[in-house]
């Protein structure tokens, strides 16, 4: 296997390659979206039979299938799922904003109400591997937020995915995936109800569908193929290689990157990658990913490393030197110190693993309970507070030529 060794000046070309992948997916996905909008369930079933092994099965998974899967789940795996669920729920509860009301200097009472989005669609990938962990990450914050209607779509959902839905007491689950699942939740079909917002990661085609439909339905972010950047000037090359492989095995289009000032460490990591791939069941996928989309960047300084990270805006960022976090502005999630393997965040630490990819970390963070909530502000005025603020409001209204606005407050004096 050969992973690319690049310099800081290669970053622009690396980013252009990422953008090109996204554009190619858009062209493939658009006809699928149009077909689902025009033909509803007929198109959805056609695509699901072609790509999701749906032949002979109902689009919706029955409540009995979910209950049976939960009953038959290995007890050790069930316990692991429940521990992860507890930690994810605890973190979401801590993030949840609260309702309040403040008295402003003017005497007006201003506050906020917190209300859930009416309905969400949770996309759970199921292509190369079943990902029940993503069901936990997308559904639990919705439950914490109090979303009344949760729809889950997953292609070829494995028994573990069904059991996880059962452990969370969710049974609105459809065995469809890809761009057609995103379109179904965005438009609604005879079988799948339209939702107000779609959350969850997926491959390049799922990401493209979410992007193209973002004017029709709200989305969390465009989360495409997974990304990892490790920044280390020293450390255990085997650990670094293991983290890079962990990301690479997700998807042949995943991106795993090391940024370092240490040429020796770069060579050691490159060698460790080859050795660790030898006895890995997912070696073919990981090797393709590392060769096509992986890289080791050799930079001249810590500041140059930080600048490159902020330019890449990676989904996952491992900083072996935690003090570097003060230099980072763009990252989906940061793992601090050499013990903080990205795998902890993927499964059970607590913070969400649904994170922005493709540079979207420049403008938003990862999925959280906030994605399922609306903040509604309130204003409560009294005679005294209106008297205090009316001159200011009237002056500003007349400056804008809106006499009616001015009179609406002055009439109360």
DSSP secondary structure string for all residues of 214-253: TTTSEES----S-EEEEE-SSS-HHHHHHHHHHHHTT-TT
Mean pLDDT of 361-389: 96
pLDDT at residue 405, rounded to an integer: 98
Beta-ladder partners of 101: 111
Which of 65, 227, 315, 342 is flagged as catalytic?
A: 315
pLDDT tens column, 92-117: 999 999 999 999 999 999 999 999 99
Distance (Å, whole) CA 224 – CA 356:
8
pLDDT at residue 22, rounded to an integer: 59
Among 145-149, 171-175, 250-254, which stretch is predicted with the lowest mean pLDDT? Answer: 250-254
pLDDT at residue 267, rounded to an integer: 96
**Is 166 or 18 the better-scoring residue by pLDDT?**
166
Share of the chain above pLDDT 70, in %: 98
pLDDT at residue 105, rounded to an integer: 95
Active site residue 46: no
pLDDT at residue 19, rounded to an integer: 67
pLDDT at residue 23, rounded to an integer: 64
pLDDT tens column, 20-64: 665 678 889 999 999 999 999 999 999 999 999 898 899 999 999
Closest CA to 348 of 128, 51, 77: 77
Backbone angles phi, psi at 89, to 5 degrees: -65, -40
Total Cβ atoms within 10 A of residue 188: 16
Mean pLDDT of 225-251: 95
pTM of the model: 0.92
Residue 178 has pLDDT above 80, yes or no: yes
Residue 118 has pLDDT above 70, yes or no: yes
Residue 14 has pLDDT above 90, yes or no: no
Share of the chain above pLDDT 90, in %: 86
- Residue 294 burial (C-beta neighbours within 10 Å; 0-12, 13-18, 19+): buried
Q: Which CATH superfamily is domain 27-106+117-221 in?
A: Nitrogenase molybdenum iron protein domain (3.40.50.1980)
Closest CA to 342 of 332, 329, 356: 332
Query: What is the residue-averaged pLDDT of the chain?
Result: 94
Which of 65, 170, 227, 316 is flagged as catalytic?
A: 316
Residue 223 has pLDDT above 90, yes or no: no
Domain boundaries, the chain: 4-22+225-362, 27-106+117-221, 381-410
176 sits in the region (left: phi over 0; alpha: psi -120 to 50; else beta) called: beta
Can you read off the two tokens belonging to residue 342?
């990205």
Cβ 204 vs Cβ 293: under 8 Å: no
40 sits in the region (left: phi over 0; alpha: psi -120 to 50; else beta) called: left
Active site residue 315: yes
Residue that the structure tokens 């409560």 belong to: 380
Q: 17: pLDDT confidence band, cut at 50, 70 and 90?
A: confident
pLDDT tens column, 278-298: 989 999 999 999 999 999 999
Task: With H, G, I as helix, E, B as strand and everything else as coil, classify residue 331.
Answer: coil
Q: 10: pLDDT confidence band, cut at 50, 70 and 90?
A: confident
Closest CA to 209 of 52, 40, 367, 30: 30
Can you read off the two tokens belonging to residue 24?
């190619």
Q: 12: pLDDT confidence band, cut at 50, 70 and 90?
A: confident
Q: Do the two domains 4-22+225-362 and 27-106+117-221 of this chain adopt the same fold?
A: yes
- Alpha-helical runs (H) found in 40-74: 41-51, 63-72
Mean pLDDT of 147-168: 97
Mean pLDDT of 229-257: 95
pLDDT tens column, 314-349: 999 999 999 999 999 999 999 999 999 999 999 999
Distance (Å, whole) CA 83 – CA 81:
6
* 4-22+225-362 has CATH 3.40.50.1980 classification: yes
Q: 245: pLDDT confidence band, cut at 50, 70 and 90?
A: very high
């Amino acid at each position: 296997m050969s992973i690319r060794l690049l310099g800081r000046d290669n970053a622009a070309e690396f980013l252009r390659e990422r953008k090109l992948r996204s554009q190619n997916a858009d062209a493939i996905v658009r006809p699928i979206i149009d077909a689902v909008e025009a033909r509803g369930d007929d198109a959805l079933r056609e695509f699901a039979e072609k790509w999701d092994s749906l032949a002979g099965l109902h689009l919706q998974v029955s409540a009995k299938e979910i209950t049976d899967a939960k009953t038959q789940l290995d007890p050790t795996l069930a316990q692991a799922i429940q521990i992860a669920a507890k930690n994810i729920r605890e973190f979401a509860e801590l993030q949840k904003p609260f309702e309040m009301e403040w008295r402003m200097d003017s005497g007006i009472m201003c506050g906020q109400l917190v209300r859930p989005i009416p309905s969400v669609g949770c996309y759970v990938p199921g292509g190369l591997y079943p990902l029940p962990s993503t069901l936990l990450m997308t559904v639990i914050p919705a439950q914490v937020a109090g979303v009344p209607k949760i729809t889950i779509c997953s292609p070829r959902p494995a028994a573990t995915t069904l059991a996880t839905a059962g452990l969370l007491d969710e049974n609105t689950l459809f065995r469809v995936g890809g761009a057609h699942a995103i379109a179904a939740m965005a438009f609604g079909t005879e079988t799948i109800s339209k939702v107000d917002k779609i959350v969850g990661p997926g491959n390049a085609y799922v990401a493209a569908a979410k992007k193209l439909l973002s004017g029709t339905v709200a989305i969390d972010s465009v989360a495409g193929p997974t990304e990892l950047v490790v920044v280390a000037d020293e450390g255990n090359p085997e650990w670094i290689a293991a983290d890079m492989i962990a990301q690479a095995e997700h998807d042949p289009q995943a991106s795993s990157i090391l940024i370092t000032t240490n040429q020796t460490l770069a060579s050691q990591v490159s060698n460790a990658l080859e050795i660790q791939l030898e006895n890995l069941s997912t070696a073919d996928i990981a090797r393709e990913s590392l060769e096509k989309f992986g890289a080791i960047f050799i930079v001249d300084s810590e500041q140059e490393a930080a600048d490159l990270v902020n330019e890449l805006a990676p989904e996952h960022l491992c900083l072996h030197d935690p003090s570097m976090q003060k230099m980072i502005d763009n990252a989906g999630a940061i793992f601090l110190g050499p013990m903080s393997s990205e795998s902890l965040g993927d499964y059970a630490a607590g913070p969400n693993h649904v994170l922005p990819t493709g540079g979207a970390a420049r403008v938003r963070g990862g999925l959280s309970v906030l994605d399922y909530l609306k903040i509604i502000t309130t204003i409560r005025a009294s005679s005294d507070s209106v008297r205090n603020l009316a001159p200011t409001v009237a002056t500003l209204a007349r400056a804008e030529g809106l006499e009616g606005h001015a009179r609406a407050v002055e009439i109360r004096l």
